[in-house]
């Protein structure tokens, strides 16, 4: 359709760079001269493009907004919408502005549809705008709540060795999330993991600033701590991790992340043996996700790569590399292979791999969409001459209703011998 | 009789938006050549018409498919138009892929150009002339293109990582970016009366 807004598809940076390097101004020059020349050229190009954009009037008709009326939803206050969308009475707009506003509304993930209607104002070229929104029924409440609770019974070699008849009571992992906190698009999530004895084994808090769509950088902050001795398969290298991350989504290769990260093993329980006490520094990374991580995972892939940079050299930098691939092996089933790796310099490596099969059950489809899952996890850690590894099998039933997911599962773990000794107090972390 | 107007009560498929009762007009025409004319202008819902009169660009998509007894479908006709209603001049500006841009004085002119099909290719209606056929009709009216919808979807999928990881998209429904009607009708075979 004529005039719809879309995100710009950028060419690959490497291709552009190589092409530029072979152009006459840069050819046969030393690398530093080439880079300085290229930076200068790009700056001049950006300035000229910006100037040209500012000077070129839009070919589309411009209207003066006389009134704006938003109907159909209470999820975002009218004043907030007017500010964020730039649609206030008295402003001059064209159809392109409305396309951008529509992109922002639909990109919030709160609405199923957003339709715009103009009507004649009191004078020529004055218009009244009506925005009709339809709430997404899959989103719970005006604050877009979601939650999950997992009830897991764990059996592992540690307890079974002491008493073959002993089975730990159920542990609980609960998460609650809001994507429209205070009805201003603030995002937040809290998660706790409590074992059957009522001891907290993990917690996470995350917050994201409001953001409408792809043109802005997204800011997220998160802090998480996990007991590496009791939750070995959920810890990658460090028991405590904090992130302050900005994300740019305008690259074709994926999303570019930059910010600050803290990886720590200081706390007695929130640590994994053999890894450094703490690493703090700027973190840069690239990630891409093509799967719809709905209640049932759609086919596709994801990857992530990141580096936590320090001034103490390569041996103290942390590198992360991960990927996942999901496919539908047969009807109503999903098979996901996932791998996550974290290394600190060349000294240590923490790896977690998993294979998960989900099969939807053809009963109560409309009621709760239940599915059975079977998951195998493998973990391996190495630090200098120390190596330890473990395996875990998990089987369970998941179902959901509106914004709530329930998970009933049974896990059987073969944890590393070192961690068994630490659980029994025979070895200090 | 050159043509026979057949008014059929339509079967509403689940994908369609709610509306009470509608008609589609099918007519066999002999001149200038044998053709099955299908007029769906009366099928438009009030919301679809509202989008066409919104003062902003709207895309109409009209599609006809035949469905065989074994369930296989064959595309018979597609028409796509981009329309914009000029609020002050009170007329439509039509941008059609095949015929270019033109100004239309009335809604009926748009309906004639974009919501009417004439199936004149023998391969299209041979089966219909002999024994009748099930015909499926789709009318979409949207303010955004499928490419725009795909962009938004991709953006939402990318948002699943980070803070909202794992709990974002189970709260995410399907975007409804067009007003859509999908109908199934039975086209009668060509009778002796139509052939005269």
Considering all CA atoms of chain A, what is the largest pairwise distance in Å, rounded to the nearest integer? 86
Contacts with B, A 20-79, CB within 8 Å: none
- Could you tell me if A186 and A303 lie in one domain? yes
- B163 close to A (CB below 8 A): yes
> Are the C-beta atoms of A84 and A104 separated by less than 8 Å?
yes
For B161, the closest chain A residue by CA position comes to: A289
On whether residue A39 sits in a domain, the answer given is no
Of the candidates A346, A421, A415, the one whose C-alpha atom is nearest the C-alpha of residue A377 is: A415
Least Cα distance to A136 among B90, B153, B146, B49 occurs for: B153
Same domain flag for A156 and A292: yes
A299 shares its domain with A230: yes
Side by side, the strands of the sheet bearing B178-187 are B11-12, B178-187, B133-142, B58-67, B73-86, B91-96, B100-104
Spatial CA neighbour of A212 closest among A107, A312, A131: A107
Q: Do A223 and A302 belong to one domain?
A: yes
Shared-domain flag, residues A97 and A170: no
Query: How many domains in chain A?
Result: 2
**Do A1 and B148 make contact, defined as CB atoms within 8 angstroms?**
yes
Do residue A321 and residue A190 come from a single domain?
A: yes
- The interface residues of chain B toward chain A in range 29-88, judged by CB-CB distance below 8 A, are 50-51, 54-57, 59, 82, 87-88
Domain end (from A114, A135, A156): A135
* Mean pLDDT in residue range B55-67: 91
Say whether both A396 and A293 belong to one domain: yes
> What ipTM score was computed for the predicted complex, to two decimals?
0.81
When CB atoms are compared, the residue of B51, B55, B157 closest to A292 is B157
Per-residue pLDDT reduced to its tens digit, A330-388: 988 999 999 999 999 878 899 999 999 999 987 765 667 889 999 999 999 998 778 88
Contact A269, A285 (CB under 8 A): no
Nearest alpha-carbon partner for A190 in A202, A175, A178, A200: A175
Interface contact A249, partner B, CB < 8 A? yes
Q: Are residues A183 and A93 in the same domain?
A: no
Structure token pair of residue A317: 């930098």
CATH number at residue A130: 3.10.20.310
Phi, psi dihedral angles at B169 (to 5 degrees): -90, -10
Whether residue A219 lies inside any domain: the answer is yes
| Interchain CB distance below 8 Å, B152 and A117 | no
Q: Tell me, yes or no, whether A274 and A369 share the same domain.
A: yes
Classify residue A102: in a domain, yes or no: yes
Q: Report yes or no on A14 lying in a domain.
A: no
One domain, residues A238 and A92: no
Residue A78, domain member (yes or no): yes
Residue entry with tokens 């999330």: A177
Which pLDDT does position A375 carry in this prediction?
A: 97
Q: Give pLDDT, residue A7.
A: 33
Q: Do B148 and A5 touch (CB under 8 A)?
A: yes
Which CATH number covers residue A257?
A: 2.40.160
- The pLDDT tens digits for A150-205 are 998 877 655 544 555 556 668 899 988 888 899 988 889 999 999 888 889 999 99
Q: Which residue of A has its CA nearest to B53?
A: A117
Query: Secondary structure of chain B: what % helix, strand, coil (to 5)?
Result: 25, 35, 35
Question: 3-class DSSP state for residue A26?
Answer: coil
DSSP string for residues in B167-184: TSGGG------EEEEEEE
Minimum-distance CB partner of A112 among B151, B161, B176? B176
Choosing from A95, A110, A135, the residue where a domain stops is: A135
Per DSSP, the residues of A236-285 read BSBSEEEEEEEEEEEETTEEEEEEEEEEE--SSSS--TTS-SEEEEEEEE
Q: Is the dihedral of CA A197, A270, A321, A250 positive or negative?
A: positive
Q: What is the pLDDT of residue B3?
A: 42
Residue A392 belongs to some domain of the structure: yes
CA dihedral A286, A292, A298, A299 (to 10 degrees): -30
Picking from B142, B151, B170, the nearest residue to A146 by CB comes out as B170
Is residue A19 one of the residues assigned to a domain? no
Question: How close does chain A come to B26, measured CA to CA in Å?
Answer: 29
pLDDT at A394: 95
Q: How far is A249 from chain B (nearest CA, A)?
A: 8
Contact A221, A243 (CB under 8 A): yes
**Residue A382, in any domain of the structure:** yes
Residues A185 and A291 in one domain: yes
Listing DSSP states for A149-211 in one string gives EEEEEEEEHHHHHH-TT--PPPEEEEEEEEEEETTTTEEEEEEEEE-TTS-EEEEEEEEE---
Q: Are residues A95 and A222 in the same domain?
A: no
Express each pLDDT in A236-288 by its tens digit: 989 999 999 998 877 778 889 999 999 998 777 666 777 888 899 999 999 99
Tokens for B112, please give them: 């004639």
Could you say which of B87, B159, B174 has the minimum Cβ distance to residue A118? B87
Q: Which of A117, A135, A153 is the last residue of a domain?
A: A135
Closest-CA distance, A189 to chain B, in angstroms, reads 7
Question: In Å, what is the CA distance from A80 to each residue of A5, A90, A415, B159?
Answer: 22, 17, 51, 22
Contact (CB<8Å) B175/A113: yes
Domain that holds residue A191: 145-423
Q: Which tens digits make up the pLDDT trace of A10-55?
A: 344 445 445 555 555 455 545 444 544 554 454 444 444 444 444 4
């Amino acid at each position: 359709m004529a005039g719809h807004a879309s995100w710009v598809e950028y060419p690959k940076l490497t291709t552009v760079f190589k092409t530029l390097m072979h152009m006459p101004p840069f050819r046969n020059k030393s690398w530093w001269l080439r880079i300085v020349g290229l930076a200068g050229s790009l700056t001049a190009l950006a300035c000229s493009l910006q100037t040209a954009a500012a000077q070129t009037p839009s070919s589309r008709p411009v209207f003066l907004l006389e009134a704006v009326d938003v109907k159909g939803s209470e999820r975002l206050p009218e004043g907030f919408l007017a500010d964020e969308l730039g649609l206030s009475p008295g402003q001059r707009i064209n159809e392109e502005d409305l396309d951008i506003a529509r992109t922002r509304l639909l990109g919030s993930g709160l609405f199923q549809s957003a339709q715009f209607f103009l009507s004649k104002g009191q004078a020529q070229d004055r218009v009244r705008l009506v925005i009709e929104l339809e709430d997404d029924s899959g989103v719970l409440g005006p604050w877009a709540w979601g939650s999950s609770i997992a009830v897991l019974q764990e059996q592992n070699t540690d307890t079974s060795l002491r008493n073959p008849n002993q089975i730990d009571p159920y542990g609980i992992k609960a998460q609650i999330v809001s994507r429209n906190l205070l009805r201003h698009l603030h995002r937040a999530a809290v998660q706790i993991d409590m074992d059957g004895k009522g001891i907290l084994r993990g917690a996470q808090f995350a917050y994201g600033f409001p953001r409408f769509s792809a043109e802005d950088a997204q800011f997220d902050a998160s802090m998480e701590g996990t007991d590496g001795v009791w939750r070995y398969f959920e810890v990658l290298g460090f028991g405590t991790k904090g992130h302050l991350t900005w994300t740019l989504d305008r690259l074709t290769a994926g999303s570019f992340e930059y910010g600050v990260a803290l990886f720590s093993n200081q706390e007695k329980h929130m640590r994994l043996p053999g890894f450094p006490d703490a690493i703090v520094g700027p973190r840069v990374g690239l990630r891409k996700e093509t799967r719809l991580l709905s209640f049932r995972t759609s086919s596709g892939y994801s990857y992530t790569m990141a580096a936590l940079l320090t001034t103490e050299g390569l041996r103290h930098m942390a590198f992360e590399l991960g990927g996942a691939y999901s496919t539908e092996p047969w009807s109503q089933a999903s098979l996901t292979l996932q791998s996550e790796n974290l290394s600190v310099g060349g000294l240590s490596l923490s790896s977690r791999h998993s294979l998960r099969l989900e099969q939807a059950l053809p009963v109560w489809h409309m009621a709760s969409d239940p599915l059975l899952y079977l998951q195998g996890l493998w973990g391996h850690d190495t630090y200098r001459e120390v190596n330890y590894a473990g395996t875990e099998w998990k089987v369970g039933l998941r179902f959901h209703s509106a914004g709530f997911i329930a998970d009933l599962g049974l896990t059987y773990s073969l944890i590393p011998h070192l961690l068994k000794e630490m659980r029994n107090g025979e070895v200090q972390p | 009789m050159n043509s026979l107007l057949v008014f059929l009560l339509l079967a509403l498929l689940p994908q369609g938006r709610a509306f009470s009762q509608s008609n589609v007009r099918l007519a066999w025409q002999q001149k200038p050549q044998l053709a099955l004319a299908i007029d769906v202008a009366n099928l438009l819902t009030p919301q679809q018409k509202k989008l066409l009169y919104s003062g902003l660009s709207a895309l109409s998509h009209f599609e006809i498919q035949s469905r065989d007894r074994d369930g296989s479908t064959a595309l018979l006709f597609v028409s796509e138009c981009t329309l914009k209603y000029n609020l002050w001049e009170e007329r439509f500006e039509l941008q059609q892929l095949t015929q270019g841009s033109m100004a239309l004085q009335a809604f009926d002119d748009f309906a004639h150009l974009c919501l009417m099909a004439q199936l004149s290719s023998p391969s299209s209606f041979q089966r219909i002339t002999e024994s009748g056929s099930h015909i499926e009709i789709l009318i979409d009216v949207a303010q955004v293109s499928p490419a725009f919808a795909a962009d938004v979807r991709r953006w939402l999928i990318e948002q699943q990582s980070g803070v909202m990881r794992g709990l974002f998209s189970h709260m995410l429904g399907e975007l409804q970016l067009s007003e859509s009607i999908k109908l199934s009708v039975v086209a009668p075979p060509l009778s002796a009366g139509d052939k005269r």
